[in-house]
Chains A and B, each alone.
Chain A
Amino acid sequence: MDCQRCQVMLPQYSAGELNPEDAQRLEDHLTECARCRAHRAAEPYLEALLTAIPVYEPPPEFTETVLARIRPQAQHAPDMTRHWISFVAAALSTMVLVVAMQRLIHSLHAATQVAGGNGAGVDLWRISLKLPMPELAHPGMPAMAVVALTIVSLWVAWAALERA
C-alpha cells in the first residue's frame, strides 16, 4: 500500500468501514510510515475544524420570496394532457404517412417486376421518382427506410405540435 492510497482510506479506517484485509494492509503501512502516522494524527484536528464551520442561516422571509418568484410560473404550468394529445396526433399522422409510403413503394416495386428485370426496373424507379435511387441490393432496404422515415416523421410531427 502506498501513502496516497493509505491517506485516501484513512477516513474509512477511522470509521471502521474497511474490510479486514484492507485494514490490515493500512495498519502495516502505518507501522512503517511516519508521514502517514502524522497525517492520521492531524486528521481529528482538521475534521473538528471542518465540522465547526459556521452555518449560514437563510433570512426568515426566504421561503415567501421563493414562492413569490414561482407564482407567475405556476399560473402557466405545462399541461400534460396537451402533451399527450400532441403525441397521439403525431403518432396517427405518422402512421398515415407510413402506410401511404409503403403502398407507394409496393406499387413501384410491382411496377419494376412488370417491367422485367432490375435494369429496367431501376430506370423506372428513377423516372418515376426523379430521384437518384441506389441499387436495391438488400431485400430489407425498403423496410429499413420505412422505419427510419417513421422515427423521423414522428419526432418532427410531435415537435411541431408542441411548438404550436
Chain B
Amino acid sequence: MEDAQLVSRCLDGDEAAFALLVDQHKLMVYNIVGRMVGRDACDDLAQEAFVQVFRGLHGFRGEAKLSTWVYRITYRVCLERLQRQERSIGQVPLSGGSPDSPQEGPWAAQLAVADPEFKRLEARTDLQRALVTLPAHYRMVLTLFYLQGRRYDEIAQVMEIPLGTVKTYLHRAKARLRECLLDLESEE
C-alpha cells in the first residue's frame, strides 16, 4: 500500500491501517529509541512516538517518505525526553551541545556501577559501551546509517540538518568511537 493511501485510510479511522503503519515501522522506531535514550525507555517512548505520529497524521504532506516522517517524529520525541532527563539530573543537555565535547547519557553511569572494572569485554560489548558516551545526534546518525542503511540525504531529512552536517556527524561519531574503543582496550 502506498504511503498516501495508508495515511488516508488512517485518517478515515481505519484502525487496521494504523496497525499496519505501526507494524511497518515499529522495529526501527524501537531501535532509534533504544540507541538514543536507552533500552529501558523503549516500550514507553516508542509507544509515545506512535501516539505523536497518530496525532500528526493530518500534517503528513507526502513530500518525504512516510518512514522518514515517522523517524523524524521519533527523533524529536527522544530529544525531548533526553532534554527533560538532563534538566532533572542537572547535566549538560544532550541535544544542541557542542559535538566535540564528550557527553554521557544517564545510563552510562548505571553501566559503570553495574560493571566498574569493564574487564574481558568482547569487541561488540566494548562498542555498546562506547556508543552510550556519544551525543544523541551522533547515535541517531549511526543508527540510521548502519542499522537501516539510510542514505545521507534521507538521514538529513529525518534529522532536519544539512547533508554536509550528516557526513560530519558520521565522521566525528566514528572518530569518537575509535578513541573510546582504544581507551577501553587500554584499561583491560
The total of chain A residues at the interface (CB under 8 A) is 32
Q: Would A58 and B19 be within 8 Å (CB), given that A42-B178, A46-B178, A66-B50 are in contact?
A: no
Instruction: Indicate if the CB atoms of A63 and B26 lie closer than 8 Å.
Output: yes
Instruction: Indicate if the CB atoms of B146 and A51 lie closer than 8 Å.
Output: yes
Instruction: Indicate if the CB atoms of A62 and B146 lie closer than 8 Å.
Output: no
Instruction: Indicate if the CB atoms of B167 and A59 lie closer than 8 Å.
Output: no
Q: Would A70 and B147 be within 8 Å (CB), given that A11-B170, A52-B124 are in contact?
A: no
* Interface status of B62 (Cβ within 8 A of chain A): no
Instruction: Indicate if the CB atoms of A46 and B174 lie closer than 8 Å.
Output: yes
Chain A proximity mask over B27-58: 1 for CB below 8 Å, otherwise 0: 10011001000010011001100110011001
Which stretch of A72-80, A94-102, A109-117 is in the interface? A72-80
**Does more than half of chain B's interface fall in helix, strand or loop, or is it mixed?**
helix
Counting chain B residues whose Cβ lies within 8 A of the other chain, the interface size class is: 35 or more
Chain A proximity mask over B7-41: 1 for CB below 8 Å, otherwise 0: 00000010100110011001100110010000100
Instruction: Indicate if the CB atoms of B147 and A53 lie closer than 8 Å.
Output: yes
Chain B proximity mask over A1-38: 1 for CB below 8 Å, otherwise 0: 00010011001000000000000000000000000000
* Interface status of B92 (Cβ within 8 A of chain A): no
* Interface status of B156 (Cβ within 8 A of chain A): no
Instruction: Indicate if the CB atoms of B18 and A70 lie closer than 8 Å.
Output: yes
Instruction: Indicate if the CB atoms of B178 and A73 lie closer than 8 Å.
Output: no
Q: Which of B22, B51, B127 contacts A53 (CB 8 A)?
A: B127
Instruction: Indicate if the CB atoms of A69 and B51 lie closer than 8 Å.
Output: yes
Residues of chain A contacted by B123 (CB below 8 angstroms): 49
Q: Which of B30, B170, B178 contacts A56 (CB 8 A)?
A: B30
Instruction: Indicate if the CB atoms of A62 and B46 lie closer than 8 Å.
Output: yes
* Interface status of B111 (Cβ within 8 A of chain A): no
Q: Would A70 and B46 be within 8 Å (CB), given that A8-B171, A42-B178, A63-B26 are in contact?
A: no
Residues of chain B contacted by A74 (CB below 8 angstroms): 13, 15, 54
Residues of chain B contacted by A78 (CB below 8 angstroms): 58
Give B contacts to A, CB under 8 Å.
13, 15, 18-19, 22-23, 26-27, 30-31, 34, 39, 42-43, 46-47, 50-51, 54-55, 58, 123-124, 127-128, 131, 142, 146-147, 167-168, 170-171, 174-175, 177-178, 181
Can you report 9 residue pairs joining A to B where beta carbons are below 8 Å apart? A53-B124, A56-B34, A57-B27, A58-B43, A62-B22, A65-B47, A66-B51, A77-B13, A78-B58
